[in-house]
Chains A and B, each alone.
Chain A
Amino acid sequence: MRFRRLYKANYGPILSYALRRCGDVAEAHDIAADTFLVLWRRFAEAPVDEDVPLWLYGVARRIVANKYRSRLRADRLVGRLGHVLPKLSSTEERAEQREAANAVLRSLQRLKDDERELLLLAAWERLPASEIAIVLGCSPNAAAIRLHRARKRLADVYEKELSRRGHD
């Protein structure tokens, strides 16, 4: 059965996506379940097998965005990527690397949601611009330009973040 095959092939990547965004295993399972329920309910409209993973990322992205919208408002300072920081601080990386990583994550929180998602799809899901385009529903050219701009924005905010910390 096609759905069963797609589920088995894509559950891991979608669970990983959800886990990277929310940091909680139980919540990530819920997001993955909601994502595949959408696929099941709209199965007749699902794209060809090769494009299903990207289509699922698009669905999961909307589910995560809806789920975290209210929480982000209430908890903006902490940010939804806060779960990454304790993990980093427990590693054996050198202090300098850790500080750079913390500064990047703080910078990331200061970007717009769209910019942040573009960067995370490229950095963590390792998607090229042509595939990010399918996830976001835009042209490959637009995705490449937006990714370039987002990387530049991140670099600018990061520089400011480092100089601000340097003055503290």
Chain B
Amino acid sequence: MKEHSDPFEVLAGVDPLDHDAVDGARSSVRAQATLDRILAKPTRTGGRSRRGRLYALAAVAAAIPAAGAAWALTNEPTHRLEIGCYAANSLDAKTVVVDAGDASPVAACRAAWSRGELGGPAPRRLEACVLPSGAIGVFPETCRQLKLTPVGRASAHAPPSNGSPTALKRSLVGTYLSRRCLGRRAGIAAARAAIRANGLTDWRVHVTTPFTPLRSCTSFAFDEVRHLVLLVPMPPRH
């Protein structure tokens, strides 16, 4: 009789997770926008001891100035690869995440409005604000109404320059698309060359998981917080 493999081991081997999607998504604007939305909500309504309630209020009270102070010092965002376009002047409004691409944040969101993605004609005024998470959000009115800091004028209206994380991303996406399969070594070399070419000296290359015969090709993801280009092993593209 034929010996069958242990089904639990088979199950462990068919993990459906798309590591590429997760590595890109966890530092995405969507994740940042979610954090901003959560921080804007009250911590708890009822059902806890007075001591606990006071503790939570103190935590919120401490958190707001802390978040404010961080961004009051600088009006430059820390996440530039993607932009959150908000349909209304609220952190809870419908949000469309767009790639920063070659356009300024305001122009990128105006394009999303004109494609109808935010459900109406583009408002006359759009303003790019630094969200508490450090990402860029573009709102139909003013940042001040949301107690947010406007993105520095140069960053809000100018396209990304060479030497920015956006240019690094653009360059590596181009490399990725130009080849059916970029091996591990070639992927590391391409990432290092792109980092050097863009003068981002504090960026590093990190391989997320081991390359295998089935996942022998490089895909790139970007972690703007830790300044990492992530090499994600993937099957060859078809």
Q: Which residues of A contact B (CB under 8 A)?
A: 1-4, 7-8, 11-12, 15-16, 19-20, 23, 25, 29, 32-33, 36-37, 40-45, 81, 83-84, 87-88, 91-93, 100-101, 103-105, 107-108, 119-120, 122-124, 126, 151, 154-155, 158-159, 162
Identify which of residues 24-52 in chain B touch chain A, using a CB-to-CB cut-off of 8 Å.
25-26, 30-31, 34-35, 37-39, 41-45, 48, 52
Residues in B neighbouring A3, C-beta threshold 8 A: 39, 59, 63
Contacts of A155 in B (CB 8 A): 6-8
Which of A16, A29, A88, A105 has the most chain B CB atoms closer than 10 A to its own CB? Answer: A16
B146 at the A/B interface (Cβ < 8 Å)?
no
* B178: interface (CB < 8 Å): no
B5 within 8 A of A: yes
Question: Cβ of B56 and Cβ of A101 under 8 Å apart?
Answer: no
Pairs of residues from A and B, 4 with the lowest C-beta to C-beta distance, nearest first: A12-B26, A158-B7, A123-B12, A44-B52
Which of the 9-residue segments B14-22, B73-81, B149-157, B188-196 touches chain A? Answer: B14-22
**Count of chain B residues near A, Cβ 8 A:** 45
- Complex CA–CA separation, A84 to B231 (angstroms): 24
Residues of A close to B14: CB separation below 8 A: 84, 88, 101, 104-105
Q: Are B7 and A154 in contact (CB under 8 A)?
A: yes
Give the total number of A-B pairs whose CB atoms are below 8 A apart.
125
Residue from the set A19, A44, A101 with the largest chain B CB neighbour count within 10 Å: A44
- Distance A88 CA – B18 CA, assembled complex (angstroms): 12
- A20 proximity list for chain B (CB < 8 A): 15-17
Q: Across the interface, do B31 and A123 meet the contact criterion of CB distance under 8 Å?
A: no
CA distance A105 to B39 in the complex (A): 39
Shortest distance between the CB of B56 and any CB in chain A (Å) = 5
Q: Is the CB of A41 within 8 A of B41?
A: yes
- In the complex, which residue of chain B has the Cβ closest to the Cβ of A43? B43
Least distance between B99 CB and chain A CB atoms (Å): 15
Distance, CA A7 to CA B36, complexed state (A):
11
